[in-house]
């Protein structure tokens, strides 16, 4: 009888141990979410035509083609079919486009003139309702600030607009890298990054969503990627047409 009790106790202990180990090896729902959505976003970025070499993981974000920032937890746009070479955007137009509030962080007040010049370029596009406005308050849509750690050859970075109609909420400028560029080129960097916050992608990256009716390549586009310090310093005719198409009066 004593041996019977011993065997029963041993079986009970083994059962507890097996159950305990099983629970430790289970993947909890929140853990699955933490890995599943970033993997989906990564697959989406690759589907857009970006290579592994163009995608850099940084914290909760993927940095793509040098300066476009994708949150690992972003909503993935619906598939809109085949894309062709035109002025490009991410499919998400900003809802409050008549008054996109920009907050200038204290770290970048020395470039206020360049920021104002960049904003003026977007605000004066013919037949467009798009307007950026500077705010000093605590409520804003975009924060622009200095980040000299974003890369030795990266002049700026920005979040793209979101699926719920918000502007990309942060622009980072590598002031240490661009400070010796001409005023026009510094302004160009800032204008380019603002373009990302309102949905524009790189014009010279052909595998993305085209702006309807604005076709053909555009060597003069301010939204061409990889041209910091050497690219167009003003919005091209096609940049303006694309802006008016996405943000008409």
Residues 42, 205: Cα–Cα separation, whole Å: 17
The answer to whether residue 61 is domain-embedded is no
Q: 123 burial class (0-12, 13-18, 19+ CB within 10 angstroms)?
A: middle
The answer to whether residue 72 is domain-embedded is no
The answer to whether residue 7 is domain-embedded is no
Residue 181 domain boundaries: 78-246
The answer to whether residue 31 is domain-embedded is no
pLDDT for position 17 = 42
The answer to whether residue 168 is domain-embedded is yes
pLDDT tens digit sequence for 187-234: 999 999 999 999 998 888 755 566 766 766 789 999 999 888 999 999
Q: CA quadruple 147, 226, 217, 190: dihedral positive or negative? A: positive
Return the C-alpha torsion angle 169, 174, 179, 181, nearest 10: -90
CATH code, domain carrying 217: 3.40.390.10
How many domains is the chain built from?
Answer: 1
pLDDT tens digit sequence for 140-193: 999 999 999 998 889 999 999 988 899 999 999 999 999 999 999 999 999 999
The answer to whether residue 57 is domain-embedded is no
The answer to whether residue 141 is domain-embedded is yes
Q: Which residue's entry shows tokens 């974000």?
A: 61
Region 106-122 average pLDDT? 98
Q: At residue 30, does pLDDT exceed 80?
A: no
Residues 163, 141: Cα–Cα separation, whole Å: 15
Q: At residue 81, does pLDDT exceed 90?
A: no
The answer to whether residue 188 is domain-embedded is yes
């Amino acid at each position: 009888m004593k041996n019977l009790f011993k065997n029963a106790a041993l079986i009970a202990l083994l059962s507890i141990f097996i159950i305990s180990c099983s629970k430790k090896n289970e993947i909890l729902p929140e853990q699955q979410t933490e890995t599943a959505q970033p993997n989906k976003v990564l697959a989406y970025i690759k589907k857009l035509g970006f290579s592994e070499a163009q995608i850099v993981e940084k914290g909760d974000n993927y940095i793509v083609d040098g300066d476009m920032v994708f949150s690992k937890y972003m909503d993935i746009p619906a598939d809109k079919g085949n894309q062709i070479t035109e002025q490009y955007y991410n499919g998400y137009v900003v809802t409050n486009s008549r008054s996109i509030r920009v907050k200038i962080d204290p770290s970048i007040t020395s470039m206020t003139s360049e920021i104002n010049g960049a904003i003026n370029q977007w605000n004066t596009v013919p037949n467009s309702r798009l307007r950026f406005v500077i705010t000093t308050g605590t409520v804003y849509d975009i924060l622009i600030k200095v980040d000299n750690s974003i890369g030795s050859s990266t002049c700026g970075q920005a979040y793209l607009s979101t699926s719920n109609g918000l502007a990309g909420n942060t622009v980072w400028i590598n002031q240490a890298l661009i400070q010796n560029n001409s005023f026009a080129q510094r302004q160009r960097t800032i204008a380019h990054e603002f373009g990302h916050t309102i949905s524009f992608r790189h014009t010279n990256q052909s595998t993305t969503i085209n702006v309807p009716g604005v076709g053909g390549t555009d060597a003069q586009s301010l939204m061409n990627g990889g041209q910091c310090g050497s690219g167009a310093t003003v919005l091209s005719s096609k940049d303006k047409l694309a802006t008016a198409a996405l943000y008409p009066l």
